[in-house]
Amino acid sequence: MTKKVVIIGGGIAGMEAASTLSRMNIDVLLIEKKQQLGGHVGEWDHLFPNFRNAREITRSLLYDLQDKHIKICTSTEITGISKKSGKFEVRTTQQQTFKADSILLSTGFDLFDARKKEEYGYGIYENVITSVDLEQKLKESNVLTMASGVIPKRIAMIHCVGSRDEKSGYFHCSKVCCITAVKQAIEVKQKLPHAEIFCFYMDLRMYGKKFEELYREAQEKWGIQFVRGRLSEAAENMDGSLQIKSEDTLSGRPLKMNVDLMVLMIGMVPSESTTFLGKMLGIHFSEDGFINHDDIHLENNLTNVPGIFTAGTVTSPMTITDTIADARSAALKIATYIS
Amino acid sequence: MTYHHFVIPFNIGVAVLFAIILVKFTIWIVKLEPVDKKLIRKNFFSIKTLEAVKESFMEGLLHRKIFMVNPVLGYMHMSLAFGWFLLIVFGNFQAQFYTRTVIHPPHYPIFFNFFVTSPDEYLFKASFEFLMDLLLLFILTGLMIAITKRFYSRIVGLKKTTRLKFFDRLALGSLWLIFPLRLFAESFTSGIHHNGNFLTGTLGDAFAKFLPVEQLALPAWWGYSIALGAFFIALPYSRYMHIPAEILLIFLRSFGVRTRRNYSSYSDIEVRSCSRCGICIDACQINKSLGMNTIQSVYFLRSIRENNVDDEKLFTCMLCGRCENVCPVGIQLSDLRVTQRTKNGVRNTSSYDFLNPPPYKIADVVYFAGCMTHLTPAIKKSMLKIFDIAGVNYYFMDSDKEACCGRPLILSGHYENAAKLIDYNKKLIKKSKAKVLVTSCPICYKTFKEDYRLDIHVMHHTEYILKLVEVGILLLEKGDSRVVYHDPCELGRGLGIYEEPRILLEKVSRLLPSDDEKENALCCGGSLAGFNLSSAQKNAIRDDALASLMKSNPDKLITSCPLCKKTFSRGTKVQVQDIAELIASSAYVPEKKKISLKPEAEPVPVLS
Ligand SMILES: Cc1cc2nc3c(=O)[nH]c(=O)nc-3n(C[C@H](O)[C@H](O)[C@H](O)COP(=O)(O)OP(=O)(O)OC[C@H]3O[C@@H](n4cnc5c(N)ncnc54)[C@H](O)[C@@H]3O)c2cc1C
Ligand code: SF4
Ligand code: SF4
Ligand code: SF4
């Protein structure tokens, strides 16, 4: 009898793990709560570090899912999971029950709710948007305007919103937002060559392949300015533009500046749905709220519950490159476990 | 017979006690600040003195407040203090009725049953005898509770409120002995003479059956007198000094004397008035939510007395005022902490030269949002909207967030620096010629009220909005969201504003009750004053407070302080709003008025 794996979460991690498992002749059921597969990547426009169209990624992953070993349930959520003599029983909102030898959690991350950082005025001031809003705008339209329809002259990109911030309750670094800021700044500059763009950062995390190069290009070729300092607050001027306050920690001086548009680089936070499932399954979480690994070096797809594995951003923020690698490694671990 | 040598210890004790208390009181009063002395002179011959007499009676003897918080503890304190007081008063009446003179030596009524054993009749004899036995029994029951409490808490290993020192031990030991010894002395004597009432008479007859009561009586009277003498001599150097100190405190307080910025002689009296009842420990969330019990007021006051105030006690406290709210002695616990911060704080010497006065504006109302409100712009925006809808001619004084109100500096003990900011802001307020100052932040509000000495009306926006509604300038639509209201420490306990927000909320929503309301509201944990608390600790305090507020599953949590809003909104999915936001979204402009709402519209009458 073929073994069966239930994968919860059809983002890129779940998709890649499913196709890898199917190639090893393992039956897979992929459960996704949304209507479509692809997760967050489905919402992005062009990707760092090379401006590749995000649709290429999802399309390619979808293509690999066409296999007789793979069954897909979209618009489906989990209502309960129980474990009996080494087998799992998964119940869903569609009133179905599935048996599984192993479960893969690839439920991903949530975006930080920028309204919780009220001093930046998201949801209060009309010209404050998030990196995700910007991604949508870039995807949908060729021009970028202020709420009034006017072309912005000065734009500030604010790093670490809801990351590395004790006050918001999240200490961790979201890893992708520095480079996303660089990428988006270049994209905006391409659309609005006359705009001045400032990135306010605490540290720049340019650790990935081609990241540092892109950062240099942003400065040298596109004239994007990087200001080291954490924004303390923003206030709205009469005309809807924003006055932002920060300290330039390199020069040690308080800094006030007027900008037309402010983009908040929101972080990746533990997903609520993962917390819910994890509690039900007795899975351990680390202090940052993501799923914990007992052995961070050698067993980074294992949870404390035998038979339950993880892939992708359920365990920490990751780029697409890292998520794909993690999903493949999870598939391999699962295959070893069930045979 | 009216004298026996055994009364000597008692008489010495009484004399020493009165002498020492007299000296202590004199020193305290002489050292009071000149303003305080003026207050005493002004109010001494007034109704205030009578009120103080009443309060001394209610609190010093009846311990009404302790009773209300903890009936068993209250009974214990009351039986000892009030019972003993009555024993002395009625003992004196008894002696007067018997001798038919008013004056007699002080020891005479105390040892009355030793001196008077003849069966002579006098007015109300039986009643007096019954009453005196009853009072003795009353005191003895209280004493039993006190002793049990001391041993019980030792058995269960509870941290006690006090480390006993020599004089405390002496006083406590003698206090425990006084009434049992009186019981024995009176019982032995009545065993010899076959008199005495239901308690001493019955016990006396029983003792006489198997004990040599003739030999035992005199030593028991000696013991009783020595215990009394020892207690009186130890008292001024022991924790029991809180009894006379509290009486003095009550009088001075009713004359208007207070602890102000600096630690004064009055503060010293407050510190000595603490009865170590420990009620403040239970009220403190740092104890309840964090299990930390070293910093609460009772320990803090002890550290002042013992001269070892440390940073932990000074800077961990959130100055939430919950302990002050329940302290039966009414000690100004928060202000005392601030005086010690001022004394022990690190000096910060900024000249504040960087402040350049912004252009001011002549207006009817000055609006001061406050630094915290600038970090919660939804509140600021709502207030500006409310001003606009109501057509108020206002001047947004800190629109550029130039100078802070000074309160955070005061809370950290930097009063001199705060004074510079206060001076700066005062000038701007004066220049605007406004009649009302409105602020959105309770933290600023308190300092505007207490430290600025402004001659205009200072209002928190809850009060101001209610005024606007009452005079009909602001019209509100009733919504159906179910809300629960959190009283901010500074607005509630700090300034007693409990009703205004509730009246407003009733008008625009469905207000649900919550467990810890008004005076008993919990602190959100975000206090600016809790410098030593880590964010994990603050979150733990916040989460407990949230759990209590969310019991009724409200749609929204409403508060009226930007800091509370900020703190809570990070800990819950439920929407947290300032009352100004809810009002701004419920306010509507009547059709007719909309036309007249041009910038050059007539100024609306000033509210004051
Ligand atoms: C603003 C931003 C821009 C980015 N840009 C790039 C980029 O340019 N290049 C790059 O390499 N990386 C980028 N990333 C990172 C990238 O988005 C992640 O690496 C990727 O999304 C991780 O995929 P995942 O499958 O782990 O999680 P997700 O994308 O979060 O997918 C999780 C899926 O699980 C589903 N799910 C959750 N709970 C349940 C449940 N209980 N039942 C069923 N289904 C459930 C969700 O609906 C979702 O479809 C960016 C990230 C951000 C925040
Ligand atoms: S990647 Fe950059 S912006 Fe994102 S959390 Fe880390 S340091 Fe902040
Ligand atoms: S400070 Fe007040 S509440 Fe606390 S122990 Fe002293 S008297 Fe009791
Ligand atoms: S003011 Fe509040 S935090 Fe400080 S000791 Fe009293 S109850 Fe505790």
pLDDT of residue B157: 41
Residues of A within 8 A of B570 (CB-CB) are 116, 167-169
Which amino acid would we find at residue A205? R
Angle B202-B203-B207 from CA coordinates, rounded to 5°: 120
Tokens describing residue B190: 């009545």
Q: What is the CATH number of the domain that holds A167?
A: 3.50.50.60
Does position B114 have pLDDT exceeding 70, yes or no? Answer: yes
Q: Give the residue whose CA is nearest to atom 8 of ligand 3.
A: B277
Residues with Cβ within 8 Å of A231's Cβ and at least 6 positions away in sequence, in order, are A120, A156, A158, A200, A244, A245, A246
User: Do residue A119 and residue B374 have CB atoms under 8 angstroms apart?
Assistant: yes
Interface confidence (ipTM) of the complex: 0.77
From A233, which residue of chain B is nearest by alpha-carbon distance? B375
Asked whether residue A146 falls in the same domain as residue A233, the answer is yes
Contacts of B445-451 spanning 24+ positions with Cβ under 8 A: B445/B490, B445/B491, B445/B495, B446/B407, B446/B490, B446/B494, B446/B495, B447/B405, B447/B406, B447/B407, B447/B410, B447/B418, B447/B422, B448/B368, B448/B405, B449/B495, B451/B406, B451/B410, B451/B418, B451/B422
- In the reported structure, the alpha carbon of residue B280 is separated from the centroid of ligand 1 by a whole-number distance in angstroms of 50
Asked whether residue A212 falls in the same domain as residue A74, the answer is no
Domain that holds residue A276: 4-108+271-338
Asked whether residue A244 falls in the same domain as residue A277, the answer is no
**Is the CB of residue B279 below 6 angstroms from any atom belonging to ligand 3?**
yes
Asked whether residue A316 falls in the same domain as residue A255, the answer is no
Query: CB A53: neighbour CB atoms within 10 A?
Result: 13
CB of A118 within 8 Å of a chain B CB? The answer is: yes
**Is the CB of residue A246 below 6 angstroms from any atom belonging to ligand 1?**
no
Q: Which pLDDT tens digit goes with each residue over B239-249?
A: 899 999 999 99
User: Do residue B375 and residue A168 have CB atoms under 8 angstroms apart?
Assistant: no
CA distance B459 to B607: 11
Q: Which CATH architecture has domain B475-588?
A: 3-Layer(aba) Sandwich (3.40)
- In the reported structure, the alpha carbon of residue A234 is separated from the centroid of ligand 2 by a whole-number distance in angstroms of 20
Q: Which class is B365-469 in CATH?
A: alpha beta
Does position B466 have pLDDT exceeding 90, yes or no? Answer: yes
Of the listed ranges A62-76, A133-147, B9-23, the least confidently predicted one is A133-147
User: Do residue A235 and residue B377 have CB atoms under 8 angstroms apart?
Assistant: yes
Does position A176 have pLDDT exceeding 90, yes or no? Answer: yes
Ligand in nearest proximity to the CA of A160: 2
Which of A251, A268, A285 is a domain's end point? Answer: A268
Contact A330, A291 (CB under 8 A): no
CA distance B62 to B84: 11
Place of tokens 């005196």: B132
Asked whether residue A226 falls in the same domain as residue A140, the answer is yes
CA distance B534 to B290: 11
User: How many C-alpha atoms does B180 have within 13 Å on its Cβ side?
Assistant: 8
Which amino acid would we find at residue B322? R
Q: Which pLDDT tens digit goes with each residue over B11-22?
A: 999 999 999 999
CA atoms B206, B211, B214, B216: torsion sign: negative
CB of B352 within 8 Å of a chain A CB? The answer is: no
Phi-psi map region of B256: left, alpha, beta (phi>0 left; psi -120 to 50 alpha): left
Q: What is the DSSP string of A75-127?
A: S--EEEEEEETTEEEEEETTS-EEEESEEEE---EEE--GGGSGGG-BTTBTT
Of the listed ranges A21-25, B159-163, B586-590, the least confidently predicted one is B159-163
Contact A317, A268 (CB under 8 A): yes
Helix (H) or strand (E) holding B201, with range, is: helix B200-210
Average pLDDT over residues A230-243: 91
Asked whether residue A166 falls in the same domain as residue A262, the answer is yes
Which of A268, A301, A327 is a domain's end point? Answer: A268
Greater model confidence, B592 or B202: B202
* Residue B496 vs residues B81, B426, B442, B458, B506: alpha-carbon distances, Å: 32, 24, 11, 14, 19
Angle A184-A190-A192 from CA coordinates, rounded to 5°: 100
From A243, which residue of chain B is nearest by alpha-carbon distance? B400
Does position B160 have pLDDT exceeding 70, yes or no? Answer: no
pLDDT of residue B510: 96
Residue A306, Cβ density class (10 Å: 0-12 exposed, 13-18 middle, ≥19 buried):
exposed
* Residue A293 vs residues A112, A302, A313: alpha-carbon distances, Å: 23, 6, 13
The strand pairing partners of A6, in sequence order, are A29, A103
Place of tokens 């040298």: A220
pLDDT of residue B61: 87
Domain B260-344 = CATH 1.10.357.10? no
Q: Where are the domains of chain B?
A: 5-242, 260-344, 365-469, 475-588
- In the reported structure, the alpha carbon of residue A313 is separated from the centroid of ligand 1 by a whole-number distance in angstroms of 7
Contact B201, B130 (CB under 8 A): no
Nearest to B219 by CA among B191, B181, B192: B181
Res. B598 pLDDT band, cuts 50 70 90: very low
Which of A212, A235, A268 is a domain's end point? Answer: A268
Q: Which pLDDT tens digit goes with each residue over A82-99?
A: 988 889 999 999 889 999
Residues with Cβ within 8 Å of B215's Cβ and at least 6 positions away in sequence, in order, are none
CA distance B544 to B82: 39
Asked whether residue A242 falls in the same domain as residue A330, the answer is no
What is the CA A62 to chain-centroid distance, rounded?
19
pLDDT of residue A138: 92
pLDDT of residue B591: 62
Helix (H) or strand (E) holding B33, with range, is: none
pLDDT of residue B284: 96
Tell me the backbone φ, ψ of residue B143, rounded to 5 degrees: -65, -40
Torsion of CA B513, B516, B519, B522, to 10 degrees: -130
Does position B450 have pLDDT exceeding 80, yes or no? Answer: yes
**pTM of the entire predicted model:** 0.82
Average pLDDT over residues B150-162: 58
CA distance B578 to A98: 48
From A112, which residue of chain B is nearest by alpha-carbon distance? B570
pLDDT of residue B354: 66
Torsion of CA B449, B352, B401, A231, to 10 degrees: -130
pLDDT of residue B158: 44
Q: Give the residue whose CA is nearest to atom 6 of ligand 4.
A: B323
Does position B162 have pLDDT exceeding 90, yes or no? Answer: no
Greater model confidence, B359 or A54: A54
Distance from CA of B566 to the nearest CA of A (A): 8
pLDDT of residue B68: 85
Average pLDDT over residues A193-221: 96
CB of B200 within 8 Å of a chain A CB? The answer is: no
- In the reported structure, the alpha carbon of residue B527 is separated from the centroid of ligand 4 by a whole-number distance in angstroms of 11
Residues of B within 8 A of A233 (CB-CB) are 374-375, 377
CB of A229 within 8 Å of a chain B CB? The answer is: no
Asked whether residue A46 falls in the same domain as residue A134, the answer is no
Nearest to A227 by CA among A209, A204, A201: A201
Angle A207-A213-A218 from CA coordinates, rounded to 5°: 110
Average pLDDT over residues A16-29: 96
CA atoms A55, A57, A62, A64: torsion sign: positive
CA distance A295 to A260: 47
Judged by CB atoms within 8 Å, which residues 538-567 of B form the interface with A? 539, 565-566
Q: Which residues of A272-301 are buried (b: 16+ CB within 10 A; e: fewer)?
A: ebbbebbeebebebeebbbbbbeeeeeebb
Does position B605 have pLDDT exceeding 50, yes or no? Answer: no
Does position A154 have pLDDT exceeding 60, yes or no? Answer: yes
Does position B156 have pLDDT exceeding 70, yes or no? Answer: no
Mean pLDDT of chain B: 90
Does position A130 have pLDDT exceeding 80, yes or no? Answer: yes
Asked whether residue A101 falls in the same domain as residue A38, the answer is yes
Does position B596 have pLDDT exceeding 60, yes or no? Answer: no
**DSSP symbol at B159:** P
Angle B535-B539-B544 from CA coordinates, rounded to 5°: 155
Asked whether residue A164 falls in the same domain as residue A248, the answer is yes
Question: Which of A116, A169, A233 is the closest to B375 by Cβ?
Answer: A233
Q: Which pLDDT tens digit goes with each residue over B35-60?
A: 999 999 999 999 999 999 999 999 88
Contact B119, B194 (CB under 8 A): no
Choice from B323, B331, B537 to test ligand 4 binding pocket (greatest atom count within 8 A of CB): B323
Nearest to B418 by CA among B220, B261, B301: B261
Nearest to A191 by CA among A240, A261, A267, A114: A261
Portion of chain B with pLDDT greater than 70, in percent: 93
End-to-end CA distance of chain A: 11
Query: CB B388: neighbour CB atoms within 10 A?
Result: 15
Name the domain count of chain A. 2
Does position B350 have pLDDT exceeding 90, yes or no? Answer: no
Asked whether residue A147 falls in the same domain as residue A172, the answer is yes
Contact A259, A198 (CB under 8 A): yes
Asked whether residue A253 falls in the same domain as residue A158, the answer is yes
CA distance A337 to A333: 6
CB of A171 within 8 Å of a chain B CB? The answer is: no
- In the reported structure, the alpha carbon of residue B552 is separated from the centroid of ligand 4 by a whole-number distance in angstroms of 26
Of the listed ranges B242-246, B357-361, B496-500, the least confidently predicted one is B357-361
Contact A93, A300 (CB under 8 A): no
Does position B600 have pLDDT exceeding 60, yes or no? Answer: no
Q: Which pLDDT tens digit goes with each residue over B266-321?
A: 999 999 999 888 889 999 999 999 999 899 999 999 999 989 898 899 899 999 99
Q: Do B260-344 and B365-469 show the same overall fold?
A: no
Contact A317, A6 (CB under 8 A): no
Tokens describing residue B450: 């207490």
* Residue B442 vs residues A201, A215, A279, B405: alpha-carbon distances, Å: 33, 46, 40, 11
User: Do residue A118 and residue B376 have CB atoms under 8 angstroms apart?
Assistant: yes
Query: CB B578: neighbour CB atoms within 10 A?
Result: 27
CB of B401 within 8 Å of a chain A CB? The answer is: yes
Average pLDDT over residues A59-71: 96
Q: Which residues of B482-514 are buried (b: 16+ CB within 10 A; e: fewer)?
A: ebbbbbbbbbbbbbebbebbbebbebbbebbeb
